[in-house]
Amino acid sequence: MDAKSENQKTTGTPAELRGVIDSLEDEVAIVVFDDDQRLDWPRRYLPQDARAGDAVIVRVAAPNEARWPGKADRSRQITFAPAQSLKWPASLKAGEVSLSIEVDAGDTAARKERVRGLIDDLFSKSSTS
């Protein structure tokens, strides 16, 4: 059974975290999650087409070289080297875990449209004042 199936079995639903690539730096992508957590994600584990501003989905995945390995504890905390951790939104088996990240093009477009709408509202209100 793969890690995703194991996670579904443990929690009843597939758990994921959603967020945005805030910026790309030398060897890391700064990922800010919708629950206000943040990780410096190693760029080598990003999809090649990932860009700053892209919406992303992070899931527990089967361990392999293309995934970011970490260690989970019973409190749903996942720890990564060097000295980073993340609170997972669902139950996890304690032990080795890997996370995968994928770009969500639909959510990226929706978030950009929402921001455009906010900017348009801001400028239309300031021009009528």
d(CA 95, CA 70): 8
Contact 88, 58 (CB under 8 A): no
For residue 34, name the pLDDT band (cuts at 50, 70, 90). very high
- β-strand pairing of 38-42 with 84-87: unpaired
d(CA 118, CA 60): 33
What is the pTM for the complete model shown? 0.77
Return the higher-pLDDT residue of 7 and 16: 16
Give Cβ neighbours of residue 9 (< 8 Å, ≥ 6 apart): 1
d(CA 123, CA 105): 27
**Position 9 pLDDT exceeds 60:** no
Contact 78, 62 (CB under 8 A): no
Report pLDDT digits (tens) over 85-115: 999 999 888 888 899 999 999 998 898 898 8
